[in-house]
Amino acid sequence: MKQKILSVLLSAVVVAAMLAGCTSKTEKAATEPASESSETTEEAAAESGEVSETTESGDGTLTVWAWDKSFNIYAMEEAEKIYQKEHPDFSLNIVEVSWDDMQTTLGTILSSGDYSQLPDILLMQDFAFRKYASTYTDFFTDLTDSGIAFDEFAEGKLGMSMVDGKNYGVPFDNGAEVAVYRTDILEQAGYTIDDLTDIDWDRFIEIGKDVLDKTGYSLVSSQAGSSDIIMQMLQSAGGSIWNGDGTPGYVENETLKKCMEVYKELFDTGVMETGNNWDEYIATFTSGKTAGVINGCWILASIESAEEQSGLWAVTNMPSLPGVEGATNYSNQGGSSWGITTNCSDVELAEDFFASTFAGSVELYDTILPGAGALATWIPAADSDVYSEPQEFYGGEAVFELITDFASKVPEFDMGVYYTEANTALATAVTNVCAGGDIDSELQTAEDTVNFDMGN
């Protein structure tokens, strides 16, 4: 009980800290500054009397909320550098906020109706963007007539941040699924990357058991209490969690049931390692508990954080779902878009920043592609020679060109407006199944839960 109370108190402190961090556009987060060029301490601001006003030329400071230092924040820092070439007085105050903490904070702010605590810019997961923009119609700035060339983004990606034909987000990263393995560990067990290419999950588990027996390494990992890998399997097989009328479709969904069965076998056999939170999940494959990871291609940035492992990794496609007609080895996980809030201190500046960087700079994507594995959804960036360059970290393979090919083969997947609720209910079902629960019963409970959440 004491631990639960402490957890609640700590959560409250985190939320309060983030809210306080947005009261001044020049105030930095309590964490390590994400960008030296935008570093301004609270004490310095107080001594100088500086406030977050833009200059007459339109340059100024914009506050950004984002997560993942190796990927999203890194990309924003590089965009800041590029924009500063023509706007030397421009700076970003980048506040690192985890996705989960952001949901808690946004819930507090948006339900209160007082948007003054919102940052100028924030990153939003694609699966949640439309729901936020639809539910809180005065949350995001309408960017349709901003001058940003939206027709230069991939159509499928663009739709994630559109409501009623209007653009509310600037598309960012590609989330094409990759399976990435330690070739040195595979070699110890007598396998190569070719043995894990174009296979199904039955063969994957067979190889995984052998690798575990011979090396002690699990072949893949996941975050405990998450249903992400289930959704990835489902999409790869062309499945859905929704019926044609938009109601949840968990019950008698044979494709979804097959995904649950595969996950349970991965868990029971030890072929899959689990981490209790995101940091532990990352550590499973960067510190040597697993020989591989299967996730959106943005995971490459985390893999590459283990610099001493350069040359020991190889990229291929994910396993397909056995026994399902039309199942593929391709899926998509995650991806996000940038939104400008209606609390933005200088909307025109923010729009010009995006038009000049994420929606206008090949140089930016040439930098963040090899630097973080951030594949563009901005079409002109794909013509860059960087995409075909061999990557030493992955044994000289031109992995970005490979992933671009993967992205073109991903089956369509309807996330639905209530994706968050659907995903949460499925995560509970997965957890219960791994603890011994019956799959059919858990899927029924999940469907009932989502129906309740939707008011059905």
Question: Which sequence spans correspond to the domains of the chain?
Answer: 2-174+334-383, 177-332+394-454
Task: Calculate the CA dihedral of residues 144, 337, 334, 273 and round it to 10 degrees.
Answer: -170
CB 130, CB 158: distance < 8 Å: no
Place of tokens 């983004």: 153
Type of residue numbered 353: F
* Interval 125-171: pLDDT, tens: 998 998 899 899 999 999 999 999 999 987 768 888 998 999 999 99
CB 337, CB 170: distance < 8 Å: yes
Greatest pairwise CA separation for the chain in angstroms: 68
CB 414, CB 240: distance < 8 Å: yes
Q: Which residues of the chain are modeled with pLDDT < 50?
A: 1-58
Q: State the Cα–Cα distance between residues 86 and 74, nearest whole angstrom.
A: 20
Q: State the Cα–Cα distance between residues 438 and 445, nearest whole angstrom.
A: 11
Listed as own residue / partner, the contacts of 46-54 with beta carbons closer than 8 Å and 24 or more positions apart are 50/26, 51/24, 51/25, 51/26, 52/24, 52/25, 52/26, 52/345, 53/345, 54/345, 54/346, 54/349
Would you state the pLDDT for residue 382? 78
CB 363, CB 84: distance < 8 Å: no
Task: Calculate the CA dihedral of residues 374, 128, 243, 450 and round it to 10 degrees.
Answer: 130
> What is the pTM assigned to this prediction?
0.71
| CATH class of the structural domain 2-174+334-383 | alpha beta
* Number of helices and strands in the chain (H, E): 17, 12
Phi, psi of 195 (to 5 degrees): -70, -15
Burial class of residue 148, CB neighbours in 10 A (0-12, 13-18, 19+): buried
In 3D, which of 222, 233, 230, 123 has the Cα closest to residue 173? 123
Would you state the pLDDT for residue 420? 86
DSSP 8-state class, residue 51: -
Number of other residues whose CB lies within 10 A of the CB of residue 149: 13
Type of residue numbered 350: A
pLDDT > 90: percent of the chain: 68
CB 73, CB 96: distance < 8 Å: yes
Would you state the pLDDT for residue 15? 38
CB 273, CB 284: distance < 8 Å: yes
DSSP 8-state class, residue 452: H
CB 140, CB 169: distance < 8 Å: yes
Listed as own residue / partner, the contacts of 356-361 with beta carbons closer than 8 Å and 24 or more positions apart are 356/82, 356/83, 356/86, 357/79, 357/82, 357/83, 358/79, 358/170, 358/171, 358/172, 359/148, 359/149, 359/150, 359/152, 359/153, 359/170, 360/149, 361/79, 361/82
Place of tokens 């500054």: 33
* Interval 212-256: pLDDT, tens: 999 999 999 999 989 999 999 999 999 999 998 989 999 999 999
Burial class of residue 379, CB neighbours in 10 A (0-12, 13-18, 19+): middle
Would you state the pLDDT for residue 289? 87
Would you state the pLDDT for residue 370? 82
Beta bridge partners of residue 63, listed in sequence order:
93
Superfamily of segment(s) 177-332+394-454: Periplasmic binding protein-like II (3.40.190.10)
Q: State the Cα–Cα distance between residues 122 and 129, nearest whole angstrom.
A: 11
Would you state the pLDDT for residue 158? 84
Would you state the pLDDT for residue 282? 94
Q: Do domains 2-174+334-383 and 177-332+394-454 have the same CATH topology?
A: yes
For the chain, the distance separating the N- and C-terminal CA atoms, rounded to the nearest angstrom, is 35
* SS3 of residue 382 by DSSP: helix
